[in-house]
């Protein structure tokens, strides 16, 4: 386990990677109170999926290579299991921490750098 992963609240990078790492914080604000009651946010880091809470979540990720990040909301409310549009981005190698925010509309989503 790296020093970054030892920080409280940080989800460690669990795939094989021996190089440097950095922190990624993703803000997943609730779209509405209906969304909080009926949807669950999922975040994927390099294809590994995590059920996360609404708000901010921090991951440890590789700093020396591209990392694929995606967020989607899922529900089983009403007519069965459905997924909303997703937000996806490929982060380029960089040593500094990064913060992203999700934005969802009816038809699409995006992950945008904050700060």
Tens digits of residue pLDDT in 15-35: 999 999 999 999 998 877 777
- pLDDT tens per residue, range 60-83: 999 999 999 999 888 766 665 565
- Output the pTM of the full model: 0.87
- Which domains are seen in the chain, by residue range? 4-113 (2.60.40)
Question: What is the spatial distance between Cα 3 and Cα 13, in angstroms, rounded to a whole number?
Answer: 12
CA 63/CA 69 separation, integer angstroms:
13
Find tokens 């094989």 and name the residue. 16
């Amino acid at each position: 386990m790296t020093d970054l992963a030892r920080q409280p609240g940080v989800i460690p990078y669990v795939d094989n990677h021996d190089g440097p790492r950095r922190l990624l914080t993703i803000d997943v604000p609730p779209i509405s109170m209906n969304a909080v009651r009926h949807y669950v946010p999922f975040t994927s880091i390099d294809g590994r999926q995590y059920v996360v809470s609404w708000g901010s979540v921090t991951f440890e990720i590789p700093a020396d290579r591209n990392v694929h990040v995606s967020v989607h909301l899922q529900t089983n409310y009403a007519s069965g299991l459905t997924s909303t549009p997703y937000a996806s981005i490929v982060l380029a190698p960089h040593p500094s921490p990064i913060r992203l925010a999700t934005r969802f509309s009816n038809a699409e989503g995006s992950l945008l750098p904050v700060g």
